Amino acid sequence: MSKVEGKVAVITGATGGIGFAVAKRLGKDGYTVVLNGIDDAAGAEKLAELTAEGITAEYYGFDMTDGDAVAANIAKIGEKFGKIDVLVNNTGGIGVRARFEDMTNEEYKFVMALNLDSVFYASRAAIPFLKKGENASIINYTSNAAWNGAGPGAGIYAVSKGGVQSITRALAKDLAEYGIRVNAVSPGTIDTPFHAQIKATKPEVFASWKSSVLLGRLGEPEEVAGVVAFLASADASFITAETIQIGGGQALGI
């Protein structure tokens, strides 16, 4: 893919793991990258790392589960740059591990807010600025859990990611008339801190994930970032409402 000039990408939850890999990749491709996070110290550290590599970057600290904060900050970003070309809704996570019968109302609401509400809040706020962008697009993150219901204790995570699958298609229909594309990626087991707890407490479970991957290994954050960069690029200009599996064949359930 060729270098881009003057394009702006907003990546939520970008102070670590896949989100930061995406920020770095898009930055190297020539985008001005705007990172979001809730850990301001980590944000400053990652911002310094990007700028040291010659990437133009900014950091905005706000909670993606707070609709008002998302609206205000996305508006600030859009108004500063006059547009947004790419929104990567990277924020998400298991949030809470609990069986359905044990999950509280607050825990349920938090998991849904983290994975689904955040996509709605950011997309809604970014649309006026995406309309001013070039080959503008939104890229969301779903999961194999959206199809297989996840494991015990992660059921609501699966529900929330099923919602992301649906909102991706709904947004694609809603925004097609403006030339704004909306797609999703579905990472398999990627070796990031996202899986640190399972890796540390249940290594046998973590090892079983590797054995379930057709290619025989776990994925790297940079491999997800490459697909996100493709979906954001002009090479994907006729792709919308799609979900790309990035799991080394894990979705086949071998």
List the pLDDT tens digit at each of the 254 positions of the chain. Answer: 567 879 999 999 999 999 999 999 999 999 999 999 999 999 999 999 999 999 999 999 999 999 999 999 999 999 999 999 999 999 999 999 999 999 999 999 999 999 999 999 999 999 999 999 999 999 999 998 888 888 889 999 999 999 999 999 999 999 999 999 999 999 988 777 766 677 788 788 777 777 788 888 888 999 999 999 999 999 999 999 999 999 888 878 65
- For residue 249, give every residue at least 6 positions away whose Cβ sits within 8 Å of its Cβ, in sequence order, or none: 213, 214, 215
pLDDT given at position 171: 99
Catalytic residue among 59, 108, 157, 178: 157
pLDDT given at position 205: 76
Helix (H) or strand (E) holding 165: helix 155-175
Cα pseudo-dihedral 26, 30, 32, 38, rounded to 10:
20
The yes-or-no answer on residue 141 being catalytic is: no
The residue whose two tokens read 């490459």 is 226
pLDDT given at position 193: 72
Model confidence, pTM = 0.94
Q: Domains in the chain and their CATH numbers?
A: 8-246 (3.40.50.720)
Question: Could you tell me if 35 and 11 are in contact, meaning their C-beta atoms sit under 8 angstroms apart?
Answer: yes
pLDDT given at position 253: 66
pLDDT given at position 254: 52
Round to whole Å and give the CA distance between 187 and 250. Answer: 10
The per-residue pLDDT for range 129-148, each reduced to its tens digit, is 999 999 999 999 999 888 88
Give CA separation, 5 vs 8, 11, 67, 130, 135, in Å: 9, 18, 31, 16, 13
pLDDT given at position 2: 61
Round to whole Å and give the CA distance between 105 and 229. Answer: 37
Question: Could you tell me if 167 and 118 are in contact, meaning their C-beta atoms sit under 8 angstroms apart?
Answer: no
Question: Could you tell me if 215 and 254 are in contact, meaning their C-beta atoms sit under 8 angstroms apart?
Answer: no
The per-residue pLDDT for range 138-179, each reduced to its tens digit, is 999 999 888 888 888 999 999 999 999 999 999 999 999 999
